[in-house]
């Protein structure tokens, strides 16, 4: 799929006429028809109903139009950011963050400001899922994310690994161990973030439990690590997954222990997939 094909599709969808779309795009009409036919073959769906008198969007075409417009908007935003990076004139970077990554973020900002002393970084602490959507739409320029994984519409740069730990009540016999095997927790409810909050971390922990030989019993959804630690320490017997570097402080009622064997999850920078590779790597290197 090419950006040119999406531009042609959006033009036809908005004009509902191949001739007017071609005029708007300043290309020959056969080129528009050929690219739209190629796009439909690649996607395996029919986007447009055509007849000699009219052109209209199919149901799949309606859905695709929304996504195509978002991709093109993100591409335009990425091109603008790339041009500013190249010219050294970018002064505001909208950057998504995750809890516990303060030192790495500070280091990255210092590296970027060494190249552009006037740079202003606006940090955004919305959920991981919302950050990924904002990067695809162009509302964010990049984000620093844990449990990083490939996703449609974004490019990921793996920069480090974090070790997973588990939080459980200090009163649990398991809390007396230095490390805990995941299968030892099979009978306890697992507190995880909601899918719409952090689908990456949630999927990684569920996958680790299944590889350990059990399907976890899911308890109430976790919120912030601080609140979850309090609830784990003072509520009914349960456990939660966190990171050993998340600076979670035990309050005497909840204990945090490393997983045995060690469970490591990758972290890194996420950028729009339309951002030129050289610019994306320059941005990732600052936070590496």
Q: What is the CATH number of domain 160-265?
A: 3.40.190.10
Q: Tell me, yes or no, if the pTM score tops 0.75.
A: no
Report the sign of the C-alpha dihedral through residues 80, 84, 89, 92, in that order. positive
Which CATH code of 3.40.720.10, 3.50.50.60, 3.40.50.2300, 3.40.190.10 fits the domain covering 80-157+267-287?
Answer: 3.40.190.10
Q: Where along the chain do the CATH 3.40.190.10 domains lie? A: 80-157+267-287, 160-265
Q: Which CATH class is domain 3-71?
A: mainly alpha
Separation between Cα atoms, residue 183 and residue 210, nearest integer Å:
9
pLDDT in tens, 34-82: 888 988 888 888 988 888 778 888 888 888 888 888 888 777 766 666 6
Q: What is the pLDDT of residues 9-27, one digit of tens each?
A: 898 888 888 888 888 888 8
- Rounded to whole angstroms, how far apart are CA atoms 228 and 219? 12
Give 171-229 pLDDT, tens digit per residue.
999 999 999 999 999 999 999 998 888 889 999 999 999 999 999 999 989 888 888 88
């Amino acid at each position: 799929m090419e950006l040119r094909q999406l531009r042609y599709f959006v033009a036809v969808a908005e004009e509902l006429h191949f001739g007017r779309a071609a005029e708007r795009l300043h290309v020959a009409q056969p080129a528009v028809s050929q690219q739209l036919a190629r796009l439909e073959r690649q996607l395996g769906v029919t986007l447009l109903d055509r007849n000699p008198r009219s052109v209209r969007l199919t149901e799949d075409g309606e859905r695709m139009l929304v996504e195509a417009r978002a991709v093109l908007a993100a591409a335009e935003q990425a091109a603008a950011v790339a041009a500013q990076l190249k010219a050294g004139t970018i002064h505001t970077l909208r950057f998504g963050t995750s809890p516990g990554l303060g030192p790495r973020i500070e280091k990255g900002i210092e590296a970027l400001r060494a190249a552009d002393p006037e740079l202003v970084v606006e940090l955004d602490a919305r959920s991981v899922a919302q950050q990924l959507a904002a990067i695809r739409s162009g509302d964010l320029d990049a984000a620093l994310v844990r449990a990083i994984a490939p996703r449609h519409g974004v490019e990921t740069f793996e920069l480090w690994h974090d070790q997973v730990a588990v939080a459980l009540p200090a009163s649990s016999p398991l809390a007396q161990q230095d490390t805990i095997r995941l299968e030892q927790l099979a009978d306890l409810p697992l507190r995880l973030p909601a899918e719409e909050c952090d689908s990456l971390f949630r999927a990684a922990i569920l996958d680790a439990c299944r590889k350990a030989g059990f399907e976890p019993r899911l308890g109430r959804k976790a919120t912030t690590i601080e609140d979850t630690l309090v609830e784990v320490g003072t509520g009914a017997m349960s456990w939660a997954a966190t990171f050993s570097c998340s600076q979670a402080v035990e309050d005497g009622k909840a204990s945090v222990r490393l997983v045995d064997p060690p469970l490591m999850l990758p972290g890194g920078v996420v950028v729009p997939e339309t951002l030129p590779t050289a610019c994306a790597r320059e941005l990732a290197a600052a936070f590496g």
